[in-house]
Amino acid sequence: MKRYASVIIAVVTLLWCFTLSACGNKYVSHYNAMLMVRENAPNKASVSFDSFSGTYVIMKNKSADEVFINYEAALGEGNIKVYYDFDGEKLSLFEIGANGSVEGKTEAFTGNKTIYIIIESDGKCSEGSFSFALEKSEK
């Protein structure tokens, strides 16, 4: 009987742990990378890598002010698509290919909603550098 109770408690505990860890994770990172350096502060995020393949999610924060995302990116080899999600819809921010670079900013966001930046590679990429900064709009 003790063994049966221990098994039930172990199963319930595992289910409880998996349930708690899945809450609030709208997007999930899954990638292979070498020499990857990451920063994810409240108002800025960056990632640099020697090689990368997969999906990486950064800048998961909220802002009550009117803000925009200022971004810069460079890539040596491969293709990467970068998306953002502010209001529950995954929208394209930019695409970058081999030996490419890009910089710009989004339109202004208003409201207390979570902002996600999603970086997705189209196969193996190398020598990448991406930075994003959340800045208040000037009214």
Rounded to an integer, what distance in angstroms lies between the CA atom of residue 93 and that of residue 67?
A: 15
> Where do the domains of the chain lie?
28-136
Rounded to an integer, what distance in angstroms lies between the CA atom of residue 68 and that of residue 60?
A: 14
pLDDT of residue 113: 75
pLDDT of residue 65: 73
Neighbours of 76 (CB within 10 A): 15
CB 106 within 8 A of CB 67: no
pLDDT of residue 14: 58
CB 45 within 8 A of CB 132: yes
Q: Which residue has the tokens 């349930």?
A: 19
pLDDT of residue 78: 96
For 116, the token pair is 């996600």
CATH of domain 28-136: 2.60.120.260
pLDDT of residue 22: 43
Which pLDDT tens digits describe the chain residue by residue (139 residues)?
Answer: 677 767 677 666 655 554 444 445 678 899 999 999 998 887 889 999 999 999 999 876 766 677 888 999 999 999 999 999 887 888 999 999 999 999 998 887 777 778 889 999 999 999 999 999 988 877 5
pLDDT of residue 21: 44
Rounded to an integer, what distance in angstroms lies between the CA atom of residue 82 and that of residue 119?
A: 5
